[in-house]
Amino acid sequence: MKKRNGKFNDKRKMLNLEECDFQHLSDLASKAKYGGNPEHKRNPGDFNLTPPSSPRKKKSLCDSVKVFTRKEALALLRKGIKMGLVSDRSTGFWPKNVWSIMDDGTPLEAQLESSEQGSYHGYPMQKTDPFYEEVIKQWRIRSEKAKS
């Protein structure tokens, strides 16, 4: 997550489980797109970014968690939306943030790039981010609910 004045964004809040309309979220997930951001890439993969990669210091890189294809990034984004790991703030129909968890347990965060297209870019969360543990906790809670 991009730091502001040395701090993580403390305005991020996840939509409460009780407020999740899972049918609506499933519909949104099917329309969501993944754009990408060259600042989070060392290996440009198949993202077709301009420039292809432009890693910046202090930016978390998708390469570090081995997300190299747009297909994989989009699947993770859509999984997070379907699970209800979305921001309580939206722009139009689209949540400002979406969180997801990789199979190895790594939490990811995506930010809305375009509310007209429903396009996001994402990155691995830093362990020092206070929201890191909350994403893992909510993933577990919502995964259990989805099983029942």
Residue 29 lies in domain: 17-37+66-147
Assigned domain for 61 exists? no
Give the tokens for residue 97.
Answer: 């943030």
Q: Averaged over 10-24, what is the pLDDT? A: 92
Claim: this prediction has a pTM higher than 0.85: no
Taking 50 as the threshold, does the pLDDT of residue 132 lie above it?
yes
Assigned domain for 74 exists? yes
Assigned domain for 111 exists? yes
Q: How many domains does the chain have?
A: 1
Assigned domain for 135 exists? yes
Q: Among residues 110, 38, 116, 43, which one has the least CA distance to residue 75?
A: 110
Express each pLDDT in 22-42 by its tens digit.
999 999 999 999 886 656 555
Assigned domain for 32 exists? yes
Return the pLDDT at 3. Answer: 41
Express each pLDDT in 104-114 by its tens digit.
999 999 999 99
Assigned domain for 7 exists? no
Assigned domain for 104 exists? yes
Confidence of residue 8 (pLDDT cuts 50, 70, 90): confident
Express each pLDDT in 92-104 by its tens digit.
999 999 999 999 9
Assigned domain for 90 exists? yes
